[in-house]
Structure formats: C-alpha cells, structure tokens
Amino acid sequence: MPKSKKKKTSKKMPVKKTKKKRTVTARSPVKKSSSKEFLSSALKEIEQQLGALKGDKKKLERELYLMALDVNDTQNEENLLRDKISKLVQKEAHLNTKKTKSESELESLQEKINKVTKINTEMKGME
C-alpha cells in the first residue's frame, strides 16, 4: 500500500498585539482643607445619627421597663384574684355543708312534727 500524501498547510505568522497607551488625565490637586471639611462634616453627621440611635435605644429600654412593670402588676393582680377565688370556693363548700346539715335537721324536725300531729290527732280521736 502506498502511503498517502499529506497536504502541506501554510504556517501563519504570529500577530503582535499592541497595547493601547493609557492616557493620564490631569487631576486637580486635592486640597487638604476641603478633605478635612468633608471628614469633619461626615463625623458630625455620624455623631448626630449615633445620638439619635442612643435616644431611640433609651426610649425602647424605657418602654420595655414599663411593659415589664405592667406585666408584674398584672401577675400580682392575677394572684390576688386567684386567692379570692380560692377563698370563695372554700366559703361555698362550707355553705354547702351547712345547707346539707340544715336540710337534714329540717327533715328530722318535720318527722317530729308529723309524729306529734299524729299523736295529737289520735288523742283527739280518743276523746
């Protein structure tokens, strides 16, 4: 078998890339006094914001403190009401006991009255 011939390709020449030259724009020299003024105004603004935030923090802390007092007052009131309820329940139980005792005494008295009236009617019947 005969060997096949390879095609010859032309070699490309490397292309040189050229960099663009940087153009330097002339800056006006920064004045020290204007940068100081800028920094001082920025610091003043930051101090004002910090003061406002501190004020808001104090306000929120006060509100939180007042809410905690309200919660404590409410809990104390709740405890007092629970005590009153328990005392009322005890009174109710005592009254129910008294009622039951009184009813049994009333029944006993009614039986005695019935016996006495029966005896009375029998005695009238004998006359």
- Round to whole Å and give the CA distance between 85 and 89: 6
Residue 67 lies in a domain: yes
Residue 1 lies in a domain: no
Q: Indicate the average pLDDT of the chain.
A: 85
Q: Specify the pLDDT at position 117.
A: 94
Residue 77 lies in a domain: yes
Give residue 52's domain range.
38-101
Residue 12 lies in a domain: no
> What is the count of structural domains for the chain?
1
Q: How many CA atoms within 13 Å lie on the side-chain side of 19?
A: 3
Q: What's the pTM value of the predicted model, to 2 decimals? A: 0.50
The 10s digit of each residue's pLDDT in 39-84 is 999 999 999 999 999 999 999 999 999 999 999 999 999 999 999 9
